[in-house]
């Protein structure tokens, strides 16, 4: 990596861009970059708790699985990507307050489809590492009121077409479905069905159903298996809560005792309704509450309280 240009205590956020740490405004990707043209890129995002990254190695490992699937070589080893990510976070940590945290993301495109006469110095993979403030205020009400899920008509792309287990820049399938859900309820979160009519996932979020004290979640083959999802499955084992993957349909959702969503930013958030049908349990339900408390203990941060403080 070349000598960084930005001051370690700069008055603006900085990012890593192809070997240098620069002000964010200097991260400019050419218009012929394949990530821009085709979504031919992969990314991953972890979050911080009190300014410390959580399971960064797990997220970087998943990024490199996505890159292998896409056959993109970023020119950095996973260990180097972790080191760069920690450096970028360290350069931006002084902007955080006790009530804020970051997404810490890595993005890698295949690079530029160069004609040959443009004069670009760099046409290989474009590599970016960034810090993005978490939308804590915008999402705070979800921890007070719960998430309202709408299941849109658009189905999740089948793994026979494109594996959902790769976290790529091509989110149009999820975005189109999310727009359909928000046309019904602008505050709703979408959860798509897979090609067989089973519950799959939303944009960057996994769904869990609680029935009779057992926790159920869709099979990994049909979804992007989130790191937060893995965390909940681990916690279920530690708390002796039955947990298994299952083919879940709208009947299962309609008869669930509790439903919750997981994502990197939310961690674990209760669902209030799905398809206009209110869940019977109070918010959060007892199983959701147990898992939420265990999650907060594991990460060393009461993330629910962190969100709720932003309601004021």
Write down which residue in 84, 119, 134 finishes a domain: 134
Q: Is residue 41 part of a domain?
A: yes
- The CA distance from 196 to 226, in Å, is 21
Write down which residue in 93, 113, 134 finishes a domain: 134
How would residue 273 be classed by pLDDT, with cut points 50, 70 and 90? very high
- The CA distance from 183 to 172, in Å, is 16
256, pLDDT greater than 90: yes
Contact between 113 and 152 under an 8 Å Cβ cutoff? The reply is no
Q: 172 with 291, same domain?
A: yes
How would residue 114 be classed by pLDDT, with cut points 50, 70 and 90? confident
User: DSSP code of 242?
Assistant: -
CB within 8 Å of 251: residues ≥ 6 apart:
none
SS3 (DSSP) at 208: strand
Task: Specify the range with the lowest mean pLDDT, choosing from 116-120, 149-153, 302-306.
Answer: 116-120
9, pLDDT greater than 70: no
The CATH number given to whatever domain includes residue 262 is 3.20.10.10
pTM for the whole thing? 0.93
- The CA distance from 220 to 211, in Å, is 19
Q: 177 with 295, same domain?
A: yes
Q: Residue 261's Cα: distance from chain center in Å? A: 12
**Which residue did the predictor score with more confidence, 201 or 116?**
201
Per-residue model confidence as pLDDT tens digits over 132-170: 999 999 999 999 999 999 999 999 999 999 999 999 999
Q: 79 with 168, same domain?
A: no
Q: 270 with 170, same domain?
A: yes
Hey, what are 157's tokens? 């792309």
Question: How many domains are there within the chain?
Answer: 2
Q: 189 with 112, same domain?
A: no
Dihedral sign from CA coordinates of 128, 129, 131, 135: positive
The CATH number given to whatever domain includes residue 90 is 3.30.470.10
Q: 122 with 208, same domain?
A: no
Domain of residue 165, residue span = 139-311
Q: Output the average pLDDT for the chain.
A: 95
113, pLDDT greater than 70: yes
How would residue 7 be classed by pLDDT, with cut points 50, 70 and 90? low
2, pLDDT greater than 60: no
Per-residue model confidence as pLDDT tens digits over 57-87: 999 999 999 999 999 999 999 999 999 999 9
How would residue 270 be classed by pLDDT, with cut points 50, 70 and 90? very high
Q: 110 with 224, same domain?
A: no
Average of per-residue pLDDT across 84-110: 97
pLDDT for res 3: 46
8, pLDDT greater than 60: no
Contact between 166 and 206 under an 8 Å Cβ cutoff? The reply is no
pLDDT for res 86: 98
Q: 39 with 119, same domain?
A: yes
């Amino acid at each position: 990596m070349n000598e960084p240009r930005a001051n370690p205590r700069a008055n603006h956020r900085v990012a890593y861009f192809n070997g240098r740490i620069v002000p964010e405004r200097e991260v400019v990707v050419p218009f012929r970059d394949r990530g821009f043209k085709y979504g031919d890129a992969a990314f991953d995002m972890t979050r911080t708790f009190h300014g410390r990254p959580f399971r960064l190695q797990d997220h970087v490992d998943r990024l490199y699985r996505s890159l292998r699937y896409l056959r993109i070589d970023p020119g950095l080893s996973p260990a180097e990507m972790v080191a760069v990510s920690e450096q970028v976070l360290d350069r931006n940590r002084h902007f955080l307050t006790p009530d804020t945290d970051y997404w810490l993301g890595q993005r890698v495109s295949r690079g530029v489809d160069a004609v040959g006469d443009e004069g670009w110095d760099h046409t290989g993979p474009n590599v970016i590492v960034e810090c993005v403030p978490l939308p804590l205020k915008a999402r705070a009400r979800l921890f007070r009121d719960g998430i309202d899920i709408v299941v849109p008509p658009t189905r999740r792309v089948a793994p026979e077409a494109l594996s959902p287990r790769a976290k790529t820049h091509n989110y149009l399938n999820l975005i189109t479905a999310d727009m359909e859900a928000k046309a019904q309820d602008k505050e709703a979160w979408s959860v798509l069905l897979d090609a067989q009519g089973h519950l799959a996932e939303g944009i960057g979020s996994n769904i869990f159903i609680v029935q009779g004290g057992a926790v159920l979640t869709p099979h990994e083959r049909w979804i992007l298996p989130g790191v937060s999802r893995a965390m909940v499955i681990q916690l279920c084992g530690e708390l002796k809560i039955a947990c298994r993957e299952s083919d879940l349909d709208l009947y299962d959702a309609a008869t669930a005792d509790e439903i919750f969503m997981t994502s990197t930013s939310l961690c674990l958030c209760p669902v209030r309704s799905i398809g206009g049908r209110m869940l019977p349990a109070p918010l959060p339900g007892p199983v959701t509450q147990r898992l939420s408390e265990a999650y907060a203990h594991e990460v060393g941060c009461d993330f629910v309280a962190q969100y709720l403080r932003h309601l004021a």
